[in-house]
């Protein structure tokens, strides 16, 4: 039994699927399956139940998973402590932001970290929420601010705020609220089936008995906005993603009435890794920037318990 086998096995249990675990680990599926079979042969017990939907840990597998995670956390902790003791280099932390949040406070946060947190080297990745969650699970990103994150093994999520979405159009003749049923009957550009806004729209259409019209799918926010600006489609987007176009008068944002579309922002990290040295301080700084940014989008947001400042001892 070796650390590679333990890491592969733990990831497979948490992914619930050997194919997905292999993708997250950047290894070939046959190689991953071989490592797990070798573990089962060495221990003399089946560790996984294979079925059509993927895999589930046996009782012995659950015990091994728990113990494997303890070992892997200890290994990560040892590496972190030794590196902190022997190196004067700043701790490298990668933060994932959605495009809208990046526009609202990404640059300001990076400057603040540079000026006030000398022990931290911050890198920012800007992607759609579902891409950021995949990156968290692959340990490519340490922390992420992502929307509509499902509860799943290996993830820790803290709700920060609920945000209403806007109907976005190039037509400036009407700026008042618009019923959701009317929105769903217009050709829209959305980010695609994995995106949470797409899913919210489809769920709302099902409740109302209206089939949404999806004219275009584009995972690029800039392409989505271009299609709306040129009048080829309308969209449903957060204020932060279109703040510049709204201020310049290129687009019009209208609140959705009747059944508003609301999404929740979460602060997410992997519960498998040990805490970073400067993680708590960075999280508090992130929350400070979010509280300041929310003043720009009132009354579209409702803060949640995760934004409450930490009590002072």
Rounded to 5 degrees, φ, ψ at 116 are: -110, -15
What's the pLDDT score for residue 273? 82
Range 234-239 average pLDDT: 92
What's the pLDDT score for residue 309? 62
The one-character DSSP state at 181 is H
3-state helix, strand, coil in the chain (%, to 5): 45, 25, 30
Range 40-61 average pLDDT: 92
The one-character DSSP state at 8 is H
Q: Name the residue with tokens 């890794």.
A: 273
**Do the two domains 3-85 and 89-161+264-307 of this chain adopt the same fold?**
no
Q: Which structure tokens are listed for 11? A: 């990831």
The region, left, alpha or beta by phi > 0 then psi within -120 to 50, assigned to residue 231 is: left
CB 11 within 8 A of CB 139: no
Instruction: Kindly tell me if the per-residue pLDDT of 283 is higher than 50.
Output: yes
CB atoms within 10 A of CB 305: 8
Confidence of residue 158 (pLDDT cuts 50, 70, 90): very high
Chain center to CA of 158: 11
pLDDT 10s digits, 115-149: 888 888 999 999 989 899 989 988 889 999 999 99
CB 51 within 8 A of CB 63: no
DSSP string, 236-260: EE-HHHHHHHHHHTSSEEEEEESS-
Instruction: Kindly tell me if the per-residue pLDDT of 225 is higher than 90.
Output: yes
CB 190 within 8 A of CB 214: yes
Edge-to-edge, what's the strand order for the sheet holding 91-97? 120-126, 91-97, 143-147, 262-270, 155-164, 301-303
What's the pLDDT score for residue 312? 45
Confidence of residue 260 (pLDDT cuts 50, 70, 90): confident
Write down the mean pLDDT value for the chain: 88
What's the pLDDT score for residue 124? 95
Instruction: Kindly tell me if the per-residue pLDDT of 235 is higher than 70.
Output: yes
- Domain locations in the chain as residue ranges: 3-85, 89-161+264-307, 166-260
pLDDT 10s digits, 165-181: 999 999 999 999 999 99
Buried b (16+ CB within 10 A) or exposed e, 214-240: bebebeebeebbebbbeeebbbbbbbb
Q: Which structure tokens are listed for 195? A: 């995106």
Does domain 166-260 fall into CATH 3.40.190.290? yes
- Strand-strand pairing, 214-217 and 188-190: parallel
Instruction: Kindly tell me if the per-residue pLDDT of 57 is higher than 90.
Output: yes
Instruction: Kindly tell me if the per-residue pLDDT of 52 is higher than 50.
Output: yes
The CATH number given to 3-85 is 1.10.10.10
Confidence of residue 202 (pLDDT cuts 50, 70, 90): very high
What's the pLDDT score for residue 159? 94
CB 254 within 8 A of CB 176: yes
The CATH number given to 89-161+264-307 is 3.40.190.10
pLDDT 10s digits, 69-116: 889 888 877 876 776 665 556 789 999 999 888 888 889 899 999 888
């Amino acid at each position: 039994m070796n650390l590679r086998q333990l890491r592969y096995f733990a990831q497979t249990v948490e992914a619930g699927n050997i194919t997905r675990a292999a993708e997250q680990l950047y290894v070939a599926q046959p190689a991953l399956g071989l490592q797990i079979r070798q573990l089962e042969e060495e221990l003399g017990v089946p560790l996984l139940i294979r079925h059509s939907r993927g895999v589930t840990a046996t009782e012995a597998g659950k015990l091994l998973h728990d113990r494997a995670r303890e070992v892997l956390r200890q290994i990560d902790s040892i590496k972190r402590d030794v590196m902190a003791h022997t190196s004067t280099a700043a701790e490298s932390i990668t933060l994932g932001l959605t495009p809208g949040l990046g526009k609202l406070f990404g640059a300001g946060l990076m400057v603040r970290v540079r000026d006030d947190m000398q022990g931290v080297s911050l890198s920012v990745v800007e992607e759609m929420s579902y891409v950021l969650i995949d990156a968290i699970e692959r340990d490519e990103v340490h922390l992420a601010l992502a929307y509509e994150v499902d509860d799943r093994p290996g993830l820790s999520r803290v709700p920060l705020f609920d945000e209403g979405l806007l109907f976005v159009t190039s037509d400036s003749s009407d700026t008042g609220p618009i019923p959701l049923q009317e929105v769903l009957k217009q050709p829209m550009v959305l980010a695609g089936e994995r995106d949470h806004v797409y899913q919210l729209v489809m769920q709302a259409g099902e409740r109302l008995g209206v089939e949404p019209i999806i004219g275009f799918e584009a995972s690029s926010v800039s392409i989505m906005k271009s299609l709306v600006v040129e009048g080829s489609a309308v969209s449903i987007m957060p204020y932060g993603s279109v703040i510049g176009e709204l201020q310049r008068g290129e687009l019009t944002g209208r609140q959705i009435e009747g059944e508003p579309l609301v999404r929740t922002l979460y602060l997410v990290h992997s519960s498998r890794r040990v805490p970073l040295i400067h993680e708590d301080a960075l999280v508090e700084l992130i929350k400070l920037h979010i509280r300041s940014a929310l003043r720009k989008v009132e009354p579209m947001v409702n803060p949640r318990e995760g934004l409450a400042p930490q009590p002072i001892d």
